[in-house]
């Protein structure tokens, strides 16, 4: 078995506005797309051949990975076309499969040792224990064999869920072909598996490392977990009188100017200008081509490529899309006065994030004027312009102008 199929066709509507401009699997965690982390971990487990099932904004995946040679692997691409469910997605790769293979959900980060355990056991699926099983497919298990998968049970019978990682023989395609449309109008892989279980035993493999990215704020925990593993590497230019504490990674072409104070774990990408006299706090990931300037403080945030936070700004517990520019004095609030968990308005839904600290989820190409204020838990779509001194809160649609 030497093929890994990664599901990468979906848009990820629950993670908007970040996916208005990119597929979900290309969201950056510690400066690498989610799908790249799975490629690297699968490669570490011995996989050299990958098939990416693509669809929404597929050119971004193709242009980034090309043929895979940069990672010393081979990548093929299969376009799902109109998204018709996970069963349909896996079914489209049948012509490219000649023996057993593994499948990974592209928007969930797995551990390399767990991938290895799945590789070692044919006809198996990963199972993980969570505190909120009602959000996932709950798995019934008897004598380590899967007996049933229940989608989103209101009263879950256990906390063990379908983790979205599988080892299949070619027989799975026969069961996919026999699967009818679900109540959601899709061909669901879980329906195919429930039929397959009647004839073929499927082993449950408890996995240890699993991070699902369901909503934008889930990216923080994934970012923290990966940054906890980084080693300090300084490939950029660090001027005198800069303080680096803890593991800090600075990539080539970046200059860190005098008076800057950076606490790790933190990663700063290529060709950035950092400082002078800025403060970057732990669990921050700054992408390529960014400018973090004088008297600016960044805390526990993800700043995507080519964004500027250059003058007297505060950004905490936030995600800043690519190509953004924050005017001087822009401040992001990240804590309610009553210290309660933050509830966001997310495109028509009220969602309890279960986080006490959450700043802004900002799409691409947003610009703010001087002294703009962004309240806790704000969602700002792409291509929004915010005027000087404007107070922003709630959910802001793309292409809006606020004054």
| Same domain membership, residue 81 and residue 201 | yes
Provide the residue count of the chain: 403
Q: How far, in Å, CA of 331 to CA of 351, rounded?
A: 23
Share of the chain above pLDDT 90, in %: 91
Last residue of a domain, one of 214, 236, 270: 214
Structural domains counted in the chain: 2
pLDDT class for 163, splitting at 50, 70, 90? very high
Last residue of a domain, one of 214, 242, 264: 214
pLDDT value at position 223? 98
Q: Is residue 238 part of a domain?
A: yes
**Contact (CB, 8 A) for 27 and 226:** no
| Same domain membership, residue 301 and residue 374 | yes
Q: How far, in Å, CA of 28 to CA of 218, rounded?
A: 12
Q: Could you tell me the residue range of the domain that residue 232 belongs to? A: 226-402
DSSP 204: E
Average pLDDT rounded to a whole number, residues 295-307: 98
pLDDT class for 185, splitting at 50, 70, 90? confident
Owner of token pair 């892989």: 189
User: CB atoms < 10 A from the CB of 250, how many?
Assistant: 26
| Same domain membership, residue 239 and residue 206 | no
CA 301-19-52 angle, to 5 degrees, is 105
Last residue of a domain, one of 214, 245, 272: 214
Q: How far, in Å, CA of 68 to CA of 222, rounded?
A: 24
Q: Is residue 220 part of a domain?
A: no
| Same domain membership, residue 134 and residue 39 | yes
| Same domain membership, residue 292 and residue 176 | no
Q: Is residue 219 part of a domain?
A: no
The reply to whether 150 belongs to the active site is no
Phi and psi of 387, rounded to 5°?
Answer: -75, 165
Task: CATH number of the domain at 394, please.
Answer: 2.160.10.10
Q: Say if pTM beats, i.e. exceeds, 0.75.
A: yes
| Same domain membership, residue 245 and residue 186 | no
| Same domain membership, residue 258 and residue 181 | no
pLDDT value at position 1? 56
pLDDT, tens digit, for every residue of 237-280? 999 999 999 999 999 999 999 999 999 999 999 999 999 999 99
pLDDT, tens digit, for every residue of 194-253? 999 999 999 999 999 999 999 999 999 999 999 999 999 999 999 999 999 999 999 999
Task: CATH number of the domain at 160, please.
Answer: 3.90.550.10
Neighbouring-strand partners of residue 245: 263
| Same domain membership, residue 190 and residue 263 | no
pLDDT, tens digit, for every residue of 67-123? 999 999 999 999 998 888 899 999 999 999 989 999 999 999 999 999 999 999 999
Q: Is residue 221 part of a domain?
A: no
For residue 203, with 0-12 CB atoms within 10 Å meaning exposed, 13-18 middle and 19 or more buried, which class applies?
middle
| Catalytic site residue from 49, 88, 311, 346 | 311
| Same domain membership, residue 72 and residue 138 | yes
Candidates 300, 223, 233, 249; CA nearest to 29 is 223
What are 294's two structure tokens? 């004088």
Quickly list DSSP for 92-110: TTGGG-SS-EEEEETTEEE
pLDDT class for 153, splitting at 50, 70, 90? confident
Residue 189 three-state SS: helix
| Same domain membership, residue 138 and residue 24 | yes
**Contact (CB, 8 A) for 102 and 4:** yes
């Amino acid at each position: 078995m030497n093929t890994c199929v990664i599901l990468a066709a979906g848009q990820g509507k629950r993670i908007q506005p970040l996916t208005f401009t990119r597929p979900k699997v290309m969201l950056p965690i510690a400066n690498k797309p989610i799908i790249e982390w799975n490629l690297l971990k699968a490669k570490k487990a011995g996989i050299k051949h990958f098939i990416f099932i693509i669809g929404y904004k597929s050119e971004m995946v193709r242009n980034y990975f090309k043929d895979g040679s940069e990672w010393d692997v081979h990548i093929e691409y299969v376009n799902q076309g109109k998204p018709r469910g996970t069963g349909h997605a896996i079914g489209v790769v049948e012509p490219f499969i000649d023996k057993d293979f593994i499948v990974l959900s592209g928007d969930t980060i797995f551990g390399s040792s767990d991938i290895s355990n799945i590789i070692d056991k044919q006809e198996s699926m990963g199972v993980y224990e969570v505190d909120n099983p009602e959000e996932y497919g709950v798995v019934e298990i008897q004598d380590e064999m899967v007996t049933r998968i229940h989608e989103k049970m209101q009263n879950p019978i256990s906390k063990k869920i379908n983790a979205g990682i599988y080892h299949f023989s070619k027989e799975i395609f026969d069961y996919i072909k026999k699967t009818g449309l679900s109540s959601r109008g899709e061909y669901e892989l879980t329906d195919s598996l429930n039929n397959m279980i009647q004839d073929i035993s499927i082993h449950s493999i408890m996995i240890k490392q699993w991070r699902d990215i369901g909503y934008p704020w889930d990216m923080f925990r994934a970012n923290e977990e990966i940054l906890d593993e980084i080693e300090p590497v300084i490939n950029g230019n660090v001027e005198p009188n800069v303080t680096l504490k803890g593991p800090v990674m600075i990539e080539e072409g970046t200059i860190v100017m005098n008076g800057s104070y950076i606490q790790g774990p933190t990663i700063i990408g290529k060709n950035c200008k950092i400082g002078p006299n800025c403060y970057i706090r732990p669990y921050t990931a700054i992408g390529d081509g960014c400018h973090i300037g004088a008297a600016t403080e960044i805390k526990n945030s993800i700043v995507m490529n080519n964004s500027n936070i250059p003058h007297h700004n505060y950004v905490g517990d936030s995600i800043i899309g690519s190509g953004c520019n924050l005017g001087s004095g822009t401040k992001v609030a990240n804590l309610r006065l009553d210290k309660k968990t933050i509830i966001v308005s997310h495109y028509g839904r009220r969602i309890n994030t279960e986080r006490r600290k959450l700043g802004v989820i900002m799409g691409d190409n947003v610009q703010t004027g001087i002294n703009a204020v962004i309240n806790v838990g704000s969602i700002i779509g792409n291509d929004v312009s915010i005027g000087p001194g404007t107070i922003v809160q709630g959910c802001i649609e793309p292409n809006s102008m606020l004054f």
